[in-house]
Structure 1
């Protein structure tokens, strides 16, 4: 089974800095059920998917297709320093392709040239 939906749900949850238990506390989706969604052993029904997307501030379209319709629909991080290891560990895309660590480091170097 393709687990792209589960992977995007997990990515969105982590970008909102929530644990599976915190998701349960906020919207009532059991952490074992959520774990099943994230690892691909089950898929959420529409109502559960809508509640998760609302909590994570992402669209259902993005979760299902992986294609952001605008920057608002991509999971957002809060205040990550461009030069930090946390920034380098994030998934960054350029023209729908994941950037390598080397490419991310080059991006940091370009930013230094622009802003220093």
Structure 2
């Protein structure tokens, strides 16, 4: 059974993100991210922090807290690359890209 700290580190690496990138996206110090990923470190202090890190790493809060609900599926290398690039975009750019991808999928499958 993995610890919460180990699950956070695994989830971060699964989305191909460095600790520095995660710290920037979460507006936290790199030392905070390192602490969250250390079995001797502190956990996220607020529910808001837990929610934000889980969303960023694409894991459920249940998986982070209990380790009982594994992520739905393992991502391919290409999916991880796409997710990493997507996570680097601003929220407005993410929304625009999602709309474009949904439109493209409709056109291809029609």
Q: Shorter-chain TM-score: which interval?
A: 0.5 to 0.7
How many residues matched?
75
Deviates more, 1:56-65 or 1:38-47: 38-47
- CA deviations on 1:56-99 (whole Å, 9 max, x unpaired) are 1101100111111772xx6x43337xxxxxxxxxxxxxxxxxxx
Retained in 2: the 8 A contact 1:61–1:67? yes
1:79 aligns to 2:77 (yes or no): yes
Retained in 1: the 8 A contact 2:7–2:67? yes
RMSD: 2.0
More helix, by proportion: 2
Q: Distance in 1 between matches of 2:71 and 2:11?
A: 15
Residues 1-116 of structure 1 mapped to structure 2, 5 A cutoff: 4-40=3-39, 41-45=41-45, 46-68=47-69, 71=72, 76-79=74-77
Q: Distance in 2 between matches of 1:51 and 1:38?
A: 15
Structure 2 regions of 5+ residues with no counterpart?
79-110
Q: Distance in 1 between matches of 2:42 and 2:5?
A: 9
Q: What TM-score, normalized to structure 1?
A: 0.57
Q: What TM-score, normalized to structure 2?
A: 0.60
